Structure 1
Amino acid sequence: MPDLFAGPGGIDLAARQLGIHLTGIERDANAVATRRAAGLPTIHGNVRLHDSRQTSIEDVITAGPPCQTFSIGGTGKGRAVLDLLVATVKTAGADSHVTIPESLDDRTALVLEPLRWILEAAQDRRPYRAVVLEQVPAVLPIWQAYAEVLETLGYNAACGVLHSEEYGVPQTRRRAVLVARLDGPVALPAPTHRRYERGVPQSAGDPSLLSWVSMADALPERGPFTVVSNYGTGGDPKNRGRRASTVPAFTVTGKISRFRLLDPDGHELPRFTHAEAGVLQGFPADYPWSGRDISQQIGNAAPVQLATALLRAATA
């Protein structure tokens, strides 16, 4: 079962825990090194150049296409052409073929690759039983267009924007997701944890849900600290956000190594290790991060707990 743009293995690790067998396709040699160190089945290659018909009969397809042209901190090229991308998805659904507009840059166009795989599988009469897709919130209109196409192919589909801390991830990270299945109804996974709201105590909220997970909960050996983010608030990069260890982390990105940590007296502490940054993405503390650009690998990964919830919703 293919996991496209598999990164270091967030979705694959969740799948392994659920007994679902995925083979990740990943272009970046560093992420491939981590995956192989973790024992995850991996094809080192470019999804765009990979022939989907070379794969065996599959059951589930998952994908988290690169987000750099869609994210707030990225180039903005993807956000600028959302209408074109939505129109391309709908045309592909009608034609059963994805034609990439020449005006799209290569990285932005990768968001269309999962649809190519889905359509080719349907044409070959070996459709995937389930589909799981995740990306930054700006991509939601594209996933909504995907859902329309999937429904014409006989799928039930659901999409929306989820808050990662509502699934036990110790950070506030919003993701646009799609889940679809052929063999029954489907819905977005129900939250298992409360949503983080600034100033609201961890013990407050719906008693039927678990408390959100703080950085202190995830990294108890650290003791109390304050994170000074590399992000600016209010659009001002000089106004760095701060969070105490008693709340979830800021969204983990490839720049997490720039987060400053301060003790209660304001003294500098060692910055997050790779293992600690991985824990904030839901990976085990002993995950075998390998290769170079490990901070970027971690920032690109899908949070494991959120991936688990999505896979359960699509396959249970």
Structure 2
Amino acid sequence: MSNISTAVDLFSGGGGLTVGLKNAGFSVVSAVELEPNAFNTYKINHPEVSVFNKDIKTISGDKFLEASPTGMVDLVAGCPPCQGFSSLTSKYRRFDPRNELIFEMYRVIEQLKPKIIMMENVPGLAQKGKELFEEFLRRISELGYMYEWRVLQVADYGVPQTRRRLVLLAGKGFHIPFPEPTHSRTGENDLPLWRTLRDAISDMPEPVTLSQTKKLGGPKNAKWHVVRDMSAQNIKRLKKAIPGESWRKIPKKLRPDCHKDIEAGFPNVYGRLSWDKPSGTITGGCTTLSKGRFGHPEELRTISVREAALLQTFPPDYIIDTDYMEKACMIVGNALPCTFAEVLARRCFEALRQNE
């Protein structure tokens, strides 16, 4: 076996999974990402990787192999788009064609025949997407892969954020044991406590607003430590918001019309984060007060794009290569947290060495 352990990153986004794979010892040889801003972000941070800005359906397995110095791929990793199975979209029952992309991942696996498969997705894949998921499992079993899947909490693995993800690990003819948690919510088993918001962003300077970045030549020149300009009404709401509490603590007269007389709905919107807890799940709405608990614990603002990236455990100098706030937030919010990816990838790397 070669000393080089090669990997392919499918649906790579801005590259959070690739950061973890590289830190774990893999040489990522190729990747694919359709969305142009995410592709640019991936390419500028991982220039050595042969990355395709194409629809995965148009790429044969051979193309992924071309950049491999060993002529093979040891690991195929991927996060197939999963919006159709997300709990955030559960009220929309119509079919989402992206749900079927899991079988494009299967096609690449069938063509490349890697020793290991590592897949991440939303927990809803095992419920709303049960039929597709079970068919995927049946197919990889027929190829000789022994799989295990679990829903894991990323905070248990050193990420300063609560985020539940479905993870599948599969070896060609061998099992891959799941990594043990490195952190704990309560400190059981003498593990360190979950990392908090304070651990991740307390030393960050004051950000600039999106309008202020025009004088700097764009938000990239502020390294995306940028927040949206906030309306006067939202500033009033944030003044009344209590860290860690829901919007129900905001006086009714300041609530949006949709929340004035109804106590139902997502409890985290218009909320402030708490210094001494992990953040909630970072999403593509991470700089918008109405889309989640993204208010700063002390200041009259949301977290910045850069702070959201730190909560996703991207390296502090990771380049977010877009000029658009919506795109920057999606690149960060859609990523697999780098530290979580690294823990999983290390387990895969160890299994590869043990089954040479």
Percent of residue pairs bearing the same amino acid type = 29
Structure 1 262/66 Cα, relative in aligned 2: closer, same or farther at 3 Å? same
Structure 1 235/69 Cα, relative in aligned 2: closer, same or farther at 3 Å? farther
**Which residue is equivalent to 2:243?**
226
CA distance in 1, matches of 2:313, 2:267: 30
Aligned length: 274
CA distance in 1, matches of 2:55, 2:33: 7
Contact kept, 8 Å, 2:275 with 2:297, in 1: the verdict is no
Out of 114, 136, 141, the residue aligned to residue 146 of structure 1 is 136
Matched, 1:131 2:151: no
1:111-145 Cα deviation digits (max 9, x unpaired): 22111112233xxxxx1011000011011344454
Shift of 1:288: 0.7
Amino acid across the alignment from 1:173: R
**Which residue is equivalent to 1:171?**
161
CA distance in 1, matches of 2:139, 2:105: 12
**Which residue is equivalent to 1:85?**
none
Contact kept, 8 Å, 1:229 with 1:260, in 2: the verdict is no
Contact kept, 8 Å, 2:14 with 2:39, in 1: the verdict is yes
Contact kept, 8 Å, 1:193 with 1:212, in 2: the verdict is yes
CA distance in 1, matches of 2:133, 2:190: 30
CA distance in 1, matches of 2:137, 2:26: 23
What is the Cα-based RMSD across aligned positions, in Å?
2.7
Matched, 1:3 2:9: yes
**Which residue is equivalent to 2:335?**
301
**Which residue is equivalent to 1:33?**
40
**Which residue is equivalent to 2:55?**
46
Mean Cα displacement is larger for which, 252-261 or 41-50? 41-50
1:28-72 Cα deviation digits (max 9, x unpaired): 110111112212422211112212233322211011011221112
**Which residue is equivalent to 2:309?**
278
Out of 278, 283, 300, the residue aligned to residue 253 of structure 1 is 283
Give the number of the structure whose alpha-carbon radius of gyration is greater.
Answer: 2
Other structure's SS at 1:65 match: coil
With the length of structure 2 as denominator, give the TM-score of the two structures.
0.70
Structure with greater strand percent: 1
Matched, 1:62 2:77: yes
Out of 63, 71, 87, the residue aligned to residue 72 of structure 1 is 87
**Which residue is equivalent to 1:114?**
105
Contact kept, 8 Å, 2:284 with 2:333, in 1: the verdict is yes
Structure 1 128/61 Cα, relative in aligned 2: closer, same or farther at 3 Å? same
Runs in 1 of length 4+ with deviation above 4 angstroms? 142-145, 227-230, 232-235
Shift of 1:190: 1.4
CA distance in 2, matches of 1:289, 1:146: 33
Q: Which runs of 5+ in 2 are unaligned?
A: 1-6, 66-71, 206-241, 248-258, 289-293, 351-356
CA distance in 2, matches of 1:143, 1:131: 14
CA distance in 2, matches of 1:229, 1:278: 23
